[in-house]
Amino acid sequence: MEYKITMPALTDTMKVGKIVRWLKNVGDKVEENEPIVEVESDKAVMDIPSFKSGVLVKILAEEGDEVPVGEPIAILETEPEKAKIEEQKTPEKSEEKKETEKEETKEKEEEKKEIKVEVPEVEKITLPEGTASPKAKLLAKEYGIDIKKEQEKGNLPSPAHEKDIENLYISKFFSKKALELVQRYKIDPKELVEKYGKKITEKEVKQYILENNIPEIKEISSIQKSLINNLSKSLEIPTFHIFEDIDASTIPHDENVTLTVWIIKIIGDTMQEHYRTRAKIRDDVYEVYPNSNISVAIAVEEELYAPVIKNVNQKNLLQIKEDLRTLKEKAGQNKLSPEDLTGGTFAVSNLGMFDVTQFDAIIPPDYTGIVAVGKEIKGHMKMTFSFDHRIINGKDGALFVKSLKENFKNKKYIQNLEKEIKK
């Protein structure tokens, strides 16, 4: 029986997924829950498993394709014997089709008899030896490049294509660093060759870039594209802000547990006192979740991720620290799972470690709010709270912030949290 593997919704906001790499080829056996393809969602790259065992008989989306959620990307045959039969089976032609093909063949043969074509003698072109496409060989002859020798030296791939020959020829006019710069800025190298006509240095390319005001071309990743789309959605949320100075002088300065871990824990416990911070709006109802699930902004090079620490209210500081470490490690390897990225209702963004005193953060779609945390100065932190007014009104937001401030200053509460990790 044929089973269609479809593009899954890996996050709450995902609309389209990009095929990064197929882990199985057509004809391969696939076990249930075995990873079959890598997909880039709006937040991370993930391994997608097959939910059934069988044989991969057809791939419907190639690497690099972007496929809407729910659309089929491959076909699995759950009965391997049937897949084998189908691969060997040749469809029978109908009698009508056979007769039509005979008539067409007869007509073509008659046409060949009637048409006499005189073919002029063509000058024989001796192309260079080596493994390459016909166009590549013609270009190599024009440029005087010995394909075979260059392949033996490792300067050309095998088989070589037209672009490879072009790049090799151009490289003779550039230093290695200069050529890298040309490629990064997507400059037509012929322009520089015509201008300088000699071995071109990195300095000359930089000067050419400045003189012509040439921009560097950087691709936008699928994760960044999704972030841009989500920011547009976030602007539709009716938002209000509360700006507060939080006294965090009771928090112990311990290298073992960072300030970010303390902030997550205290916010998670405070959310238990204010149910609206644990809510999502669905049509005409609020869905209120029992646990405090907090999304934490994590930057990896130029990418921004927002994985979720689950059940913060049930965990101690060391458990939260370990969760945060694991999520950062996964983000760095592009291995965050759908489970890691979904389920949050409140978010934390901390730029204090970058020496930022105060800033504002945008509420992620489907979240009730977010807090932007500035750096600690003499035991105090500037926090900016952004709330979705459809779920939390001014009074609700003020009461939540009031409770949070009290918990930060509650020495007994802080000491109990510290005792838990020293047992």
> Would you say domain 2-87 falls under CATH 3.10.129.10?
no
CA distance readout (Å), 58 to 27, 53, 75, 83, 389: 8, 15, 5, 10, 49
Q: In what order do the strands lie in the sheet with 380-388?
A: 239-247, 380-388, 369-377, 346-350, 294-296, 308-309
- Dihedral angle computed from the Cα positions of residues 166, 171, 177 and 182, in that order, rounded to the nearest 10 degrees: -40
Whether the model clears a pTM of 0.75, i.e. scores above it, the answer is no
**Per-residue pLDDT tens for 287-346?**
999 999 999 999 888 788 899 999 999 999 999 999 999 999 998 888 888 889 889 999
Q: What is the DSSP letter of 136?
A: H
Q: What is the DSSP letter of 236?
A: T
Residue count of the chain: 423
The whole-number pLDDT of residue 169 equals 80
pLDDT beyond 60 at 100:
no
**Per-residue pLDDT tens for 249-291?**
999 988 789 999 999 999 999 999 999 999 999 888 999 999 9
Confidence of residue 189 (pLDDT cuts 50, 70, 90): confident
Higher pLDDT pick, 389 / 217:
389
Half-sphere exposure for 338 (CA within 13 Å, toward CB): 14
Phi first, then psi, for residue 36 (nearest 5°) are -120, -25
The whole-number pLDDT of residue 92 equals 46
Q: Identity (one letter) of the amino acid at 385? A: F
User: Is residue 68 within 8 Å of residue 10, measured between CB atoms?
Assistant: no
Higher pLDDT pick, 157 / 218:
157
Helix residue ranges per DSSP H, 6-70: none
The whole-number pLDDT of residue 90 equals 38
Cis peptide before 35 (omega within 30 of 0): no
pLDDT beyond 90 at 43:
no
* Closest alpha carbon to 391 in 272, 276, 241: 276
> Distance between CA 182 and CA 202 in Å, rounded?
9
The whole-number pLDDT of residue 89 equals 39
pLDDT beyond 90 at 350:
yes
The whole-number pLDDT of residue 16 equals 87
Collapsing DSSP states into helix, strand and coil, what is residue 54?
A: strand
Higher pLDDT pick, 263 / 3:
263
pLDDT beyond 50 at 85:
no
Report residue 151 as tokens.
Answer: 């392949």
The whole-number pLDDT of residue 349 equals 95
The whole-number pLDDT of residue 83 equals 61
Which sequence spans correspond to the domains of the chain? 2-87, 134-212, 237-420
The whole-number pLDDT of residue 71 equals 92
User: Is residue 370 within 8 Å of residue 349, measured between CB atoms?
Assistant: yes
**Hunting for tokens 């000058």 — which residue is that?**
123
Q: Report the b/e string of 149-177 with b at 16+ CB within 10 A.
A: ebbeeeebeeebebebbbbbbbeebbbee
> Would you say domain 237-420 falls under CATH 3.30.559.10?
yes
pLDDT beyond 70 at 107:
no
Most confident segment among 11-15, 86-90, 235-239: 235-239
**Per-residue pLDDT tens for 148-169?**
888 888 888 888 888 888 888 8
For 43-114, strand residue ranges (E) read 45-49, 54-59, 66-68, 72-77
Rounded to the nearest integer, the mean pLDDT of the chain is 85
pLDDT beyond 80 at 176:
yes
